[in-house]
Amino acid sequence: MEMTRIFRNMAAATAATISLVFSLGAAAQGGEETFIKAQASFERGLRGSESDNEAAAEHFKRLSETDTGNPLYLAYYGSTFTVKARDAWLPWKKLKLGEQGLDLIDKALKRLTPEHDKLVLRNVPLGIETRLVAINTFLQVPDRFFHRYESGKTLLAETMKSPAFAQSPPQIQARFYSQTALVAQKEGRKADEAAQLKRMLELDPQSPDTAQLQARLKELGA
């Protein structure tokens, strides 16, 4: 029951990040139509539709097999498995699906090269989007089962120091600050969490999460 609760919380927290990344990320040449379908299906899957998540998984599977040089497709394909883990009933199946998804994301990260930070998809470096998917997943999956929290923190810190991060749109940078705020919250550093949330709002004042962020800042007395 605890894994079910954690996975559902993870999906809710991921939805805003994924939605923004998809709205800014471009479809690769030759796969645009499939990418758009995958985008729509995946977002519906995050909101609770198991059938749509299954459809998204099939789309991203085909995309990753067709364009093997694009790690972003593989990373998102892996993320569909974590949603499947959320929806699974049996604990052993949750673990299996979660591990499958994380393995795919690991493969996506291994495929990243410096060139991927130069490839820009609608103003977003492809390498940055891929890392964002990985970071968000690593920080959200239950660490007692998957042990990815420290890896997520390390990747987050390294990515935010990169030139590609500095060249990313403010809305994408804001998503990274949401991750640093999450880390601060998990570690009980309230002042730091507030600072990260404020930075996020500065970068993306029109964020759909603005009301929630302001409510959290009020809770923190900031």
Q: What percent of the chain has pLDDT over 90?
A: 62
28 shares its domain with 134: yes
Instruction: Specify the range with the lowest mean pLDDT, choosing from 5-14, 98-107, 166-175, 207-216.
Output: 5-14
Q: pLDDT by residue (tens digit) across 67-97?
A: 888 899 999 999 999 989 988 899 999 999 9
22 shares its domain with 45: yes
Q: pLDDT by residue (tens digit) across 213-222?
A: 999 999 999 8
62 shares its domain with 6: yes
Asked whether the predicted pLDDT for residue 6 surpasses 70, the reply is: no
Q: pLDDT by residue (tens digit) across 107-143?
A: 999 999 999 999 887 678 999 989 998 998 899 888 9
Band (pLDDT 50/70/90 cuts) for residue 32 is low
Residues 6+ apart with CB under 8 A from 130: 71, 72, 75, 108, 109, 112, 116
68 shares its domain with 145: yes
109 shares its domain with 206: no
Q: What is the DSSP string of 49-70?
A: -HHHHHHHHHHHHHHHHH-TT-
Query: Of 136, 167, 198, which residue is a domain's last?
Result: 167
Asked whether the predicted pLDDT for residue 52 surpasses 50, the reply is: yes
50 shares its domain with 103: yes
Structure confidence at residue 45 (pLDDT)? 86
132 shares its domain with 214: no
Tell me which residue of 184, 185, 162, 165 sits closest to 175, measured CA to CA: 165
134 shares its domain with 177: no
Q: pLDDT by residue (tens digit) across 151-172?
A: 999 999 999 999 999 999 999 9
Better pLDDT: 197 or 29: 197
Band (pLDDT 50/70/90 cuts) for residue 53 is very high
146 shares its domain with 210: no
23 shares its domain with 122: yes
> Which two three-digit tokens encode residue 146?
């998957």
Query: Of 120, 137, 167, which residue is a domain's last?
Result: 167
Domain that holds residue 219: 169-222
Average pLDDT over residues 23-35: 55
Q: Is the pTM of this model over 0.85?
A: no
Average pLDDT score over the chain: 86
59 shares its domain with 81: yes
56 shares its domain with 139: yes
* Domain count along the chain: 2
